[in-house]
Chains A and B, each alone.
Chain A
Amino acid sequence: MSLLENIKQDFNQYKEQAEHDAFFETRKHAFDAFEKLGFPTIKNEEWKYTNLKPLSDILFHNTCVKSINTEALLSGSVLNTITANRLVFVNGSFNESLSNIIEKDKSIIITNIASARKKHQVIFEKHFGKYAKTETEGLNALNTALMSDGAFIHVPSNKIVEHPIVIMNVIDASEMNVLCQPRNLIIIEKQASAKVIESYISNGNNASFTNVVNEIFVDEHAQLHHYKLQRQTGESYQNNYTQLYQEANTTINQVTLTLDGTMVRNNLHFYMNGENCNSLLYGLYITSQKNHVDNHTRVDHAKPNCFSNELYKGIMKDKSTAVFNGKIMVHLDAQKTNAYQRNQNILLSDEASINTKPQLEIFADDVKCTHGATIGQLNDEQLFYLRSRGIPEHEARTMLLNAFADEIAEMIKIPELVALLEDEISNKL
């Protein structure tokens, strides 16, 4: 059985229960779109360097596998040491007993999608499916058609979420191959503020394909810190689509940390729908073995007087490969746009490779935009300088790589996450 047959079978299961499922119409609509669009292939310019073909022969199970090891897995995670609101999903299903909401203000909703669909129907329907496109993006359509569960966060106007919200996705492939479709919806109303960590870890040696869609809406004068932490092990494939839609006078600080995973494809899309928006996009990918990471980002400057700054850094070793494709789109009306974009890479082996493509498309005539990419190695002069002071080579390399990653680490406002990153860098060498 192929992946496509798998998917059809899974969809048929929903079909059988259609009469009990108010959501089925949405699923069906999305499934039709998926059938038309299918999986992207390397003939698609946007997927030129990321081939999903290896996925097609894997037999997946969408059925929720109950994991026995989740608790142990979680206790070993650094995110468990942070004082935070926690939503735990195991293979896409909500695990209520491992989740814990510590926020005292009950007007702040931190829950799972499945229950929000019923309990917070008005807000849910106002925002769900409004930002992530299904008509043109096959994998988004697939997610909508088969979505299991995910986080639902609603921060009402003028509220500040005191502690970070951790969306912890555990993929347990210890028993069988896992296919799951997490779906998160985050709504930050006017003058509200939150910090969200979206995290992926995994367990087991079977294959997994995690196809995520995040829809994030940030209303006027609101602020969001959004951290994505990807460190799945084993034979893990992830497609992660994140659409951020921001209104006037908002600031979004987004940091994507890809530290492991057989194949990770991120699609990060900012749309600035008002003036005086700040969009900050930072990323760090550390790749090894034959792993592959693809970061596609797009920033739409649709209105004047907005600022965006993007910096993605890569450290690659062994035979790993990476892709960076960043597009800044400055619309006709978006005068006085300030947009900056950089991609910097360090290759630690002769066999690692990166395809990078920083892009600007500018239709306004009074803007300030820069973009650029660099690919290099660790600087021998710096290495020798450190060694000549008695610092061993391994330590010197770690210091230099940490220094390289420092610009990204600085953007992370949660110290435990920064510490995790530093550990990860020294472990990776």
Chain B
Amino acid sequence: MLSIKNLKAKIGDKEILKGINLEVKAGEIHAIMGPNGAGKSTLSAVLAGRPDYEITEGTVTLDGKNLLEMSPEDRAREGVFLAFQYPVEIPGVSTTNFLKTAVNEKRKYLGLEPMEATDFLKMMREKMEQVEMDKSLTSRSLNEGFSGGEKKRNEVFQMAMLQPKLSILDETDSGLDIDALRLVSNGVNKLRSKDNAFVVITHYQRLLDYIVPDFVHVLYKGRIVKSGDKELAKELEAKGYDWIKQEVEAAN
């Protein structure tokens, strides 16, 4: 589904991604871990099309289509979804109106008619239940005055509404207490299917207790330096990142 080859990206003069290779197939969950400053959030931003970064080399394709040539909105409509680490508050834009626009823009892109208002509201209700989203949140402005946990739940709710092929979760666990973490993870697990895939970016192993990955990759200094299964995450939790750093330095 997602194929990243030798991806290099910089911001200003600073090269942050230095040749990433990653293959993600439908139905898989990949965790990307790494110390602070390794380039984890940059990778998610580059995949979603944040304009601040310059791609200097490499390719990214989603089901064979070149993502890097697409605007952020086209990537979303092709099925990429980024769950933000820090979802922004947008006062004055209602959550319902926002989602209706987003859902219908995607439908338009796929050559479908806009959804009937009643069907849309029905879908909202179903998805809210599915991801245990509080109904009152959708009547408010987008993320305005939401707690950290509510914002993250809203991300998962949007994911449920937009039904992406590839979801990238950028440090979704940051700032969450254990209850919120469980709610968010449950939501994600309910959305898993054989047709979609997840890239879960996290610093800590604790999220991976709830969202169990098929593969774990360690990102360090802009490269994936180690890959393994979920046991690798546990090893990192137990031993920290220093041994990885030493291995890399020794190899150089």
Contact = CB atoms under 8 A, between A and B. Distances in A.
Contacts of A403: 90-93, 141
Given A390-B162, A391-B105, A392-B105, A384 B92 contact: no
Interface string A378-405: 0111101111111111011001101110
Interface in B28-68: 48-51
Interface of B: 48-51, 71-73, 75-77, 81-82, 84, 87-88, 90-93, 98, 101-102, 105-106, 109, 141, 158, 162
Interface residues of A, number: 23
B72 A400 contact: no
A32 interface: no
A379 B88 contact: yes
A162 interface: no
Contact of B98 (A381, A386, A393): A386
A407 interface: yes
Contact of A384 (B51, B141, B158): B51
A21 interface: no
Interface centre among B76, B106, B109 (most CB of A within 10 A): B76
**3 closest Cβ contacts across the A-B interface?**
A403-B92, A390-B76, A406-B92
A25 B102 CA distance: 65
Contact of B105 (A384, A390, A404): A390
A39 B131 CA distance: 66
B184 to A, nearest CB: 18
Given A381-B88, A385-B88, A391-B101, 14 more contacts: A379-B88, A382-B88, A385-B84, A386-B93, A386-B102, A387-B49, A387-B72, A388-B72, A389-B81, A391-B98, A395-B101, A399-B93, A400-B93, A403-B93
Nearest to A406: B92
A387 B74 CA distance: 9
B234 to A, nearest CB: 32
Contacts of B102: 386, 389-391
Interface in A168-227: none
Interface of A: 379-382, 384-393, 395-396, 399-400, 402-404, 406-407
A399 B98 contact: yes
Contacts of B92: 402-404, 406-407
A407 B84 CA distance: 27
Contacts of B101: 391, 395, 399
14 contacts: A384-B50, A385-B90, A387-B71, A388-B75, A388-B84, A389-B158, A390-B102, A390-B105, A390-B109, A399-B98, A400-B93, A402-B93, A404-B92, A407-B92
Contact of B76 (A379, A381, A388, A400): A388
Nearest to A385: B88
A403 B82 CA distance: 23
Nearest to A405: B92
B75 to A, nearest CB: 8
Contacts of A404: 92
B40 to A, nearest CB: 17
A392 B98 CA distance: 12
Contacts of A407: 92
A386 B106 CA distance: 13
A388 B88 contact: no
Contacts of B73: 387-393, 396
A209 to B, nearest CB: 36
A389 B98 CA distance: 9
Interface centre among B75, B88, B141 (most CB of A within 10 A): B88
Nearest to B50: A384
A406 B106 CA distance: 26
Nearest to A395: B101
B105 A388 contact: no
A382 B76 contact: no
Contact of A390 (B77, B84, B87, B88): B77
A388 B48 contact: yes
A388 B71 contact: no
A121 B48 CA distance: 71
Contacts of A380: 51
Contacts of A392: 71, 73, 105
A316 B244 CA distance: 53
Contacts of B98: 386, 389, 391, 399
Nearest to B106: A390
Interface centre among B101, B105, B141 (most CB of A within 10 A): B101
A404 B48 CA distance: 26
B72 A384 contact: yes
A378 to B, nearest CB: 11
B169 to A, nearest CB: 13
A382 B109 contact: no
Contacts of A395: 101, 105
B92 to A, nearest CB: 3
